[in-house]
Structure 1
Amino acid sequence: MSPPLAGLSRHPDFLRLWAAQAVSAVGSRISRTALPVIAIVSLGADASGVAVLSSLSTAPGFVVGLFAGGLVDRSRKRPLLIGADLVRAALILSVPIAAWTGALTLLHLSAVAALVGMATSLFQIADNAYLPALVGQDHLVEANARLEGTDAAAEIAGPGAAGILIQALSAPVTMVVDALSYLGSAALLVRIRAAETPVAPADGAGGAAGGSGAADGGASLLEDLRVGLRHGLGHPVVGATFLAMGAQALLSGGVFSALYMLYLLGHLLLSPATVGLIIGVGGIGALAGSVLAGWLGRRLGAGPAMILSLIVSQAGNALIPLAGQLGRYAVPALVVHQLVGDAFLVAFMIHAVSARQSMLPLRVLGRVDATLHVLTGALLPAGTLAAGWLAGRIGVEATIWAFVIAGFAAPLLLLLRPAVWRLRAV
């Protein structure tokens, strides 16, 4: 299943996977924009209702992570990917059908957001486990960079396309476009010709390089979690990236989920349109990061590239509270933060994912990825709540400064592991 010597540009199965993810990535941004519009315009939802709707689209990652890892490892991945796409298409299509028949409710919309979020989490876990077998370990950084670049491009184009479609067709009709995108993704995945290696119902001896001869457990939830923790956190390199990503979710992702919009709109008094444009620049930064990752890896090695990327990304976060002291230069500072912060964070993620995929046995990747979903899915809302609590006591800007400084714990966790900064290739 590895690609020919010409590389991924002439690997037809990877190109189909890449195209499938590009189509569904744009579609998911369309539904992410359209769902709140439907809730507000068609159902009269207030701020709390929209907040619940938004949280339901991301919270299922924690729940799915608990149960999906073993399923992914004990199953063929491509049928799971196709199934997740078909489920998402059917769920999304139920929204315009209900709207046209007058049966749409906020409960229905919330259920769709939650179930689509669950299907998306399953897709992501299966996809991360499927990619190494499809392209081979020598092409993982290139493959992950292309996929991350496509996701960044979708972040740039998707919300704008959604706005145009909603304006021209209405939000419910726009959801039909999203459903069609998932059907298109499934059709492309069906055309992948490479046969997957059969997976035993329970992991036995053997496995990919790096695995042990001992059995990795059966189908129980606790055993699957144990396997994910042992191979994930127990690995000197992968474990360090897990801890760093957990710290980043708690100390960076959480505070910005809670306070970023509030700080820009309430403290800096920027208009919603300006804030939207600033955030959109992050997609450009992420796209640049997908190119930067390979260059950094070649120049520095994979481990130093991860460490440097996370340090620069975290340092870029300081531009957010600094913007409050920069007067007319506040918006340029925030734009630079989006460009630099997102570029180097994506570069770090590409190398971290590639290291996990290349250094762990293929038979446990699903459970390891699921464990990471559980870890970050728990820490992100914890950081959000902590940031909100602290802001009520010391103020928004002081809280952001506190979390920016504390966030350097993430690259520090990589620096404390010699196996990481000695890593030259994945």
Structure 2
Amino acid sequence: MANSLLKHPDFMRLWSAQIGSAFGSRITRTVLPIIAILLIDADPNEIAILSALSFAPGLIVAFFAGGFIDRNQKRPLLIVTDLVRAALIFSIPLAAFFGSITMMQLYIVAALVGAATALFQIADNAYLPRLVEKDQLVEANSKLESTDAVAEAAGPGIAGLLVSLVTAPVAMMVDGFTYLWSALMLTRIKKQEPEKQARDENDNLLSDAIAGLKACTNHPVVGPILAAETLLAFFGGTYLTLYMIVGLRTIGLDPFTLGVIISLGGVGGFLGAMAAAPMAQKLGLRTTLLITLALGQLSNFFIPLAAAMPEFGAAFLALQQIAGDIFMTIFVIQALSLRQRVMDENLLARANATFQLTTGIAVTISALLAGPLTIIFGIAPVLWGAAIGSMLALPIMWLAKEEKAA
């Protein structure tokens, strides 16, 4: 079935839409702080708040939106979130043109775009199984993940180039058009979705969240994956907080060099996306999940090694970016495809929301703890602890029962 989806018109439209959305989200993430610094002269605390507002609303959306998405058609929600993001982004160059841009506007845009992006991601993961056949999910997720990897590698650089060539507000205009492109492609999808489900009188926000959690934890395969990914997110929050400190201060890299090293993760992600389906077909799904999880987490040991031996730090970080993203991309593609394949479609958005909520809470707690722990113990011991702790995901994943690879 190689390349079968290249002849699937509706998937190609979804893929085209995702290209716009993937690059748009990277441009937003890169250019918003640049505008805050260059046009408003924001201080470090204001930049920290801006970054937090880009992420935190996704947790709220994850808690409240799963049941709503499950009961409604997914494609209209995807289109609306794209249009909302475009409108919010266009407000920034408009305000800059009139000289009225403020930090409060950037806070509002960051929060609402973050919430809309979380809603888009949950609905998108629930929509894909309605668009393609179950045995095409790994191929579909591999193609979507490869685009995401390219966007992760090239998006920040494209954003920086746009800022240099046409100024930051104009770069945001380009960003807005990527979301309009995504909405346009989604409107051209022909396949009809089932009609929306009637809301039961017992349905409410809390019952929806509980239903999603139970659907995941009671499943013999999805339950261990949820536990493992939550654990990985918890220790991953440590890297989120300390990675830039290791690169810029401990090792002493300049921002450009560190940016190039980080972009290698996108290259690794692309290679992993290409290898996901062949590896599972050759080794089996359960073996693939266990091997890629093990190798992906072992690669994280290069980060404390970089802190402990800064003279080799750049090489260690480069190895971690490439190897880690190769193996973890394979793991993510196969784990997501499995979830889409085995979960009830009428509960899938709530299951996706459960994953987003639990991992989001875990990474937030860890990120907040990393700073105080580093002050007490030092950066290298905290990173060694995170690397060792993440390996506990392996025995959890071992509990997942065998499923047939797609």
Is the pair's TM-score, using the shorter chain for normalization, greater than 0.5?
Answer: yes
Higher helix share: 2
Q: TM-score, normalised by structure 1?
A: 0.93
Correspondence list, 1:343-354, <5 A: 343-354=326-337
Matched residue SS, 1:318: helix
Equivalent position of 1:308 in the other structure: 291
Q: Measure the CA separation in 1 of the matches of 2:372 and 2:285.
A: 37
Q: What is the deviation of 1:202?
A: 3.3
Correspondence list, 1:4-403, <5 A: 7-202=4-199, 218-251=202-235, 253-326=236-309, 328-403=311-386
Matched residue SS, 1:317: helix
Q: TM-score, normalised by structure 2?
A: 0.97
C-alpha contact 2:250 2:310 (8 A) present in aligned 1: no
Matched residue SS, 2:189: coil
Give CA deviations for 1:60-84 in whole Å, capped at 9, x if unaligned.
Answer: 1110011110110110000000000
Q: What is the deviation of 1:155?
A: 1.1
Q: Measure the CA separation in 2 of the matches of 1:392 and 1:328.
A: 23
Matched residue SS, 1:200: coil
Q: What is the deviation of 1:101?
A: 1.0
What letter matches 2:215 in structure 1?
Answer: H
Give CA deviations for 1:234-267 in whole Å, capped at 9, x if unaligned.
Answer: 111111111111000001x210111111112121
Matched residue SS, 1:149: helix
Matched residue SS, 1:96: helix
Moved segments of 4+, more than 4 Å: 325-328
**Structure 1 pair 271–13 and aligned structure 2 pair: CA distance change class (3 A):** same
Percentage of pairs with the same residue: 45
What letter matches 2:404 in structure 1?
Answer: R
C-alpha contact 1:290 1:350 (8 A) present in aligned 2: yes
C-alpha contact 2:306 2:312 (8 A) present in aligned 1: yes
Q: How many residues align?
A: 406
Give CA deviations for 1:221-241 in whole Å, capped at 9, x if unaligned.
Answer: 111012101111111111111
Q: Measure the CA separation in 1 of the matches of 2:107 and 2:212.
A: 30
The farther-off stretch of 108-117 and 49-58 is 49-58
What letter matches 2:209 in structure 1?
Answer: L
Q: Measure the CA separation in 2 of the matches of 1:277 and 1:411.
A: 31
Equivalent position of 1:425 in the other structure: 405
Q: What is the deviation of 1:219?
A: 2.8
Q: What is the deviation of 1:6?
A: 7.2
Give CA deviations for 1:317-349 in whole Å, capped at 9, x if unaligned.
Answer: 001111245454321221111000011111111
Matched residue SS, 2:206: helix
The farther-off stretch of 218-227 and 149-158 is 218-227
Give CA deviations for 1:283-321 in whole Å, capped at 9, x if unaligned.
Answer: 101111101211221111112111111110110000111
Give CA deviations for 1:63-110 in whole Å, capped at 9, x if unaligned.
Answer: 001111011011000000000000000000001111111221001001
Give CA deviations for 1:120-160 in whole Å, capped at 9, x if unaligned.
Answer: 00000100000001001010000001000000011122111
Stretches of structure 2 that go unaligned for 5 or more consecutive residues are none
Q: Measure the CA separation in 2 of the matches of 1:363 and 1:418.
A: 23
Q: What is the deviation of 1:29?
A: 1.1
C-alpha contact 1:93 1:176 (8 A) present in aligned 2: yes
**Structure 1 pair 96–413 and aligned structure 2 pair: CA distance change class (3 A):** same
Q: CA RMSD in A?
A: 1.5
Give CA deviations for 1:29-69 in whole Å, capped at 9, x if unaligned.
Answer: 11211100100000010111111111111111110011110
Q: Measure the CA separation in 2 of the matches of 1:219 and 1:296.
A: 41
Q: What is the deviation of 1:189?
A: 0.3
Q: Measure the CA separation in 1 of the matches of 2:127 and 2:382.
A: 40
Q: Measure the CA separation in 1 of the matches of 2:255 and 2:80.
A: 38
The farther-off stretch of 166-175 and 294-303 is 294-303
Q: Measure the CA separation in 1 of the matches of 2:194 and 2:109.
A: 34
Q: Measure the CA separation in 2 of the matches of 1:325 and 1:233.
A: 39
Q: Measure the CA separation in 2 of the matches of 1:229 and 1:325.
A: 40
The farther-off stretch of 26-35 and 172-181 is 26-35
**Structure 1 pair 93–327 and aligned structure 2 pair: CA distance change class (3 A):** closer
Q: Measure the CA separation in 2 of the matches of 1:44 and 1:6.
A: 49
C-alpha contact 1:232 1:238 (8 A) present in aligned 2: yes
Q: What is the deviation of 1:418?
A: 4.8
